[in-house]
Amino acid sequence: MGKRLTMLLANLFLFIGVCFAQTQVRGTVTSSEDGEPIVGASVLIIGTKTGTVSDVDGNFTLTLPEGKTLLEVSYLGMTPKKVKASPNMKVVLDPDHRALDEVMVVAYGTQKRSTITGSAVEVKAEDISKHVASTATNALGGKVAGVQMVTSSGEPGSAPELRIRGIGSYAASSEPLYVVDGAPFDGDIASLNPSDIESMSVLKDAASAAIYGARGANGVVIITTKKSRGAHGAKITLDAKWGSNSREIPRYDLILDPAMYYEAFYKAMYNSKLYHGASDADARAFADANLLGNKNGGLGYQVFTIPTGEKFIGDDFKLNPNAKLGYSDGKYTYMPDNYYDEIFHSSFRQEYNVNINGATDKLSYYSNLGFLGDGGTVNNSSFKRYTARTNVDYQAKDWLRFGVSLSYSHTDSSSPSFNADTYGSSGNLFYIANQLGPIYPLYVRDANGNIMKDHGRTVYDANQTGFKRPAIIGNAVRDNEYNRQSIATDQFQGNWVATVTPIEGLNLVANLSVWNRNRNYHYLDSRFGSASTTDGAVEVGNDRYFSTNQIYTANYDKTFGKHAINLLAGYEHYFLKVSDL
């Protein structure tokens, strides 16, 4: 009886200890405006990752760990509150008028967030600067719900394609319309320096983008570049970033040891014969006869030297213990190479920006010079961008304001010139690195084991020796080394804006923009790959794009007590000229 009483008391004390360690609180979240419960308010225990949301009646229940008594209650459009937990607590949230009254750039003007009825999201400069982004579209990654980023190329400087409203066309582009400082932008989005961007507004639904007509069918991205804010003297800012580019996605779990690869392949050939009814002896004989050949499913290469008269693979399905890595037929030496290490490497990334900005009561100016050097993770791939931008605003009269935005960019990009976008292509470096067995040489070696040269150029193995691969007969590393493309692009964009305010609430705006792009490209296809039948090919070309855009708008915005009116009328004229050589 005494033992039972002791155990009962021990369990009781343990239960009391658990009660003291954790405390359950209940509460209600309401709005200060109308006293109505707030559905879906977030209630988080500060210092932990534990939280809950209020139900349809605004009620919530939480169990607090020992020592935790502070809660943070938040809801979209409301000012967050930090409160101390208490029994049957009541939390009242106030509207965040600052967020609702914040002005957002939309089609042909600005609008308060509280009056926007469509689906539009704005990303500010402070959000963009938190991430290292080489292009403007990269800066949107993970910041806009419902927007997909499709990266069709891993080349340095390549901008991912945005999918705001899904795939809008089977054959035509699904890219959104880009608008920079009020004018449609025809250029390469990678030419824009993310450090020059003040905000990016993404118009996602049809209502928000309808004013742009068919051009906005895939959504609209409105980019506003930086200007100096508030009266202050000249400020000079220098920003420098250094980093390293490397392949982040780890490799699959592959057989990387040549001996294990031979053993696994031998057993596969053996089992395939057993499956079709062959005897053990016949299955072994088939695997012995065909493992090193390039027919009947063989591997086609031998990279181990076996003593004369001995079997390559023993009865235990293991490589001959007397085998030595490296095999010579008297003319060539066959040694396996690590394709992955030869293909991928780390590269240096550097970015610099220096800007000067200032403002008086009438004049504001912002100028920035930028440089980006972005190396690739494979050889012969790189991207360099030089940018310059100047934005000037001048308040000539109380009713007259002028604005000028001038930008120039020069980009140099280098990449392999062969077309190997398809993953299954034998010219695709990523495919080769994962699919080619670890027994195959990358280079051609002479009888002494030295890598051979042809007029100073490295000779790569591509079925021109005594052995031949049964598949993937080309050499993507060779093609990447000798087949190259380089593109140099110069782009200029100028915007001139005049705003007249004849009466309060009425703005008459004239916006003239000019865009010019001059691109020179050079393709070198060596004697290997797609141009091998013509002993190589060289292509040099130039294209030029020139466009002007004139936009004239009249906008009337007036508030009458609790009511507001906004009227917009406009005219736009667009001209584009393309020449190609």
Q: Point out the least confidently predicted range of 62-66, 399-403, 430-434, 487-491.
A: 430-434
* Distances, alpha carbon 151 to alpha carbons 154, 162, 420, in Å: 7, 9, 15
Are 288 and 326 part of one and the same domain? yes
What's the rounded Cα separation, in Å, for the pair 334 and 439? 9
Query: Same structural domain for residues 414 and 461?
Result: no
Q: Is residue 430 included in any domain, yes or no?
A: no
Give the SS3 label for residue 105. strand
Q: What is the percent of the chain with per-residue pLDDT over 90, rounded to a whole number?
A: 40
Residues 360 and 509 in one domain: yes
Q: Is 297 a domain residue?
A: yes
- Write out the H or E segment, with its range, that includes residue 11: helix 2-21
- In sequence order, the β-bridge partners of residue 232 are 359
Rounded to whole angstroms, the Cα distance separating 415 from 408 reads 23
* Cβ atoms of 193 and 200 closer than 8 Å: no
Q: What pLDDT, in 10s, does the model give residues 347-368?
A: 999 999 999 999 888 899 999 9
Q: Own/partner pairs for 122-127, CB < 8 Å, 24+ apart?
A: 122/199, 122/200, 122/201, 122/202, 123/199, 123/200, 123/201, 123/202, 124/198, 124/199, 125/197, 125/198, 125/199, 125/226
Same domain, 326 and 351: no
Residue reference for tokens 């009814």: 277
How confident is residue 480, by pLDDT bands cut at 50, 70 and 90? confident
Give the pairing type, strands 197-203 and 220-225. Answer: antiparallel
Same domain, 263 and 357: no
> What is the tens place of the pLDDT at every residue in 34-77?
788 888 888 988 877 778 888 888 999 988 888 888 999 988 66
Q: What integer is the mean pLDDT of 459-488?
A: 84
According to DSSP, residue 138 is labeled: G
What is the rounded distance in angstroms from the CA atom of residue 478 to the CA atom of residue 445?
A: 15
Give me the sheet containing 23-31, strands edge to edge. 59-64, 23-31, 89-93
Give the whole-angstrom CA distance, residue 345 versus residue 359: 46
Is 6 inside a domain boundary? Answer: no
Q: How confident is the model at residue 21 (pLDDT cuts 50, 70, 90)?
A: very low
Same domain for 79 and 52? yes
Q: Determine which helix (DSSP H) or strand (DSSP E) holds 376, and give its type and residue range.
A: none
**Which residue bears the tokens 């582009």?**
173
Same domain, 156 and 31: no
Element (H, E) at 326: none
Q: What share of the chain is helix, strand, coil (3-state, %, to 5)?
A: 20, 45, 40
Q: Is residue 12 part of a domain?
A: no
The confidence band for 137, taking pLDDT boundaries of 50, 70 and 90, is: confident
Least confident range from 226-235, 487-496, 551-560: namely 226-235
Which range of residues forms the domain containing residue 220? 103-230
332-334: strand order across its sheet? 327-328, 332-334, 445-446
Q: Is the pLDDT of residue 154 over 80?
A: no
Q: Which of 411-415, 466-470, 549-553 has the highest mean pLDDT?
A: 549-553
Averaging pLDDT over each range in 97-101, 105-109, 297-301, 531-535, which range is the top one? 297-301
Q: Does 443 lie in the same domain as 312?
A: yes
207, pLDDT greater than 70: no
Same domain, residue pair 83 and 46? yes
Give the pair of three-digit tokens for residue 366: 């912002």
CATH number reported for the structural domain that contains residue 148 in this entry: 2.170.130.10
Of the given ranges (92-101, 219-228, 389-398), which has the lowest mean pLDDT?
92-101
Report whether 157 contacts 135 (CB < 8 A).
yes
* Averaged confidence pLDDT in the chain: 83
Is position 145 within any domain?
Answer: yes
Co-location of 26 and 110 in the same domain: no
Six-digit token pair at 356? Answer: 């000067």
- Considering the domain boundaries, does residue 273 fall inside one? yes
Q: What is the pLDDT of residue 11?
A: 41
What does the pLDDT average to over 156-182? 79
Selected residue with higher pLDDT from 152 and 562: 562
| Residue 360, in any domain of the structure | yes
d(CA 140, CA 128): 8
Question: 233: closest CA among 355, 359, 395?
Answer: 359
Q: What is the pLDDT of residue 553?
A: 92
Q: Is residue 173, in this structure, part of any structural domain at all?
A: yes
Query: Are the CB atoms for 460 and 444 separated by under 8 Å?
Result: yes
pLDDT at 6 over 50: no
443 secondary structure, DSSP code: B
Residues 459 and 493 in one domain: no
Residue % of the chain over a pLDDT of 70: 86
Domain count, the chain: 4
Location of structure tokens 């009561």 = 361
Residue 220 shares a structural domain with residue 115: yes
